[in-house]
Amino acid sequence: MNQYQHLLQLDQQFIWHPYSSLGSDMPVFPVVSASGVQLKLADGRELIDGMSSWWSAIHGYNHPQMNLALENQIKTMSHVMFGGLTHPPAVELAKTLVEITPDTLQSVFFSDSGSVAVEVAMKMAIQYWHDKQQPDKQKFLTLRGGYHGDTFGAMSVCDPVTGMHGLFNQSLAQQFFIDTPSSAFNAPCNANDIENLRSVLTEHHSQIAAFILEPVVQGAGGMRFYSADYLNKARMLCDEFNVLLIFDEIATGFGRTGKLFACEHSNIEPDIMCIGKALTGGYLSLAATLTTQKIAQTISNGNPGVFMHGPTFMANPLACAAANASIDILLNSNWQTKIHTIESWLQQYLSPCATLAKVKNVRILGAIGVVECHEAVEMKTIQSALVEQGVWIRPFGKLVYLMPPFIINEADTRGLCNAIFSVLK
Domain boundaries 3-62+333-424, CATH class: alpha beta
d(CA 242, CA 125): 12
Q: Tell me, what's the pLDDT at 84?
A: 97
Three-state SS letters, 70-133: HHHHHHHCCCCCCCCCCCHHHHHHHHHHHHHCCCCEEEEEEECCHHHHHHHHHHHHHHHHHHCC
Q: Determine which of 73-82, 119-128, 153-162, 312-321 has the lowest per-residue pLDDT on average.
A: 153-162
Chain segment 283-303, per-residue pLDDT in tens: 999 999 999 999 999 999 999
Band (pLDDT 50/70/90 cuts) for residue 239 is very high
Radius of gyration of the chain (CA): 22
Q: Among residues 61, 128, 147, 349, which one is catalytic?
A: 147
CATH topology match: 3-62+333-424 vs 77-331: no
pLDDT at 127 over 90: yes
Give domain limits for the chain: 3-62+333-424, 77-331
Clarify whether 128 is annotated catalytic.
Answer: no
The long-range contacts involving 375-379, CB below 8 angstroms and separated by at least 24 positions, are 379/26
CATH architecture for residues 77-331: 3-Layer(aba) Sandwich (3.40)
pLDDT at 314 over 70: yes
d(CA 142, CA 214): 9
Clarify whether 248 is annotated catalytic.
Answer: yes
pLDDT at 3 over 80: no
Q: Tell me, what's the pLDDT at 151?
A: 95
Chain segment 202-231, per-residue pLDDT in tens: 999 999 999 999 999 999 989 999 999 999
pLDDT at 23 over 90: no
Band (pLDDT 50/70/90 cuts) for residue 250 is very high
The whole-number average pLDDT for the span 305-328 is 97
- Cβ proximity of 122 and 153 under 8 Å: yes
pLDDT at 5 over 90: no
pLDDT at 70 over 80: yes
Q: Tell me, what's the pLDDT at 1?
A: 67
Q: Tell me, what's the pLDDT at 395?
A: 96
Q: How far is CA 227 from the centre of its chain?
A: 19
d(CA 3, CA 233): 56
Clarify whether 360 is annotated catalytic.
Answer: no
Clarify whether 277 is annotated catalytic.
Answer: yes
* Percent over 70 (pLDDT), the chain: 99
Q: Among residues 123, 233, 277, 398, which one is catalytic?
A: 277
pLDDT at 416 over 70: yes
- For residue 305, what are the contacts with CB-CB under 8 A and spacing of at least 6? none
Q: Tell me, what's the pLDDT at 344?
A: 98
- Cβ proximity of 279 and 286 under 8 Å: yes
Q: Tell me, what's the pLDDT at 146?
A: 94
Q: Among residues 112, 159, 229, 248, which one is catalytic?
A: 248
Mean per-residue pLDDT over the chain, rounded: 96
d(CA 185, CA 224): 9
Q: Record the pTM.
A: 0.97
- Cβ proximity of 282 and 290 under 8 Å: no
Q: Which phi and psi angles does 333 have, rounded to 5°?
A: -110, 165
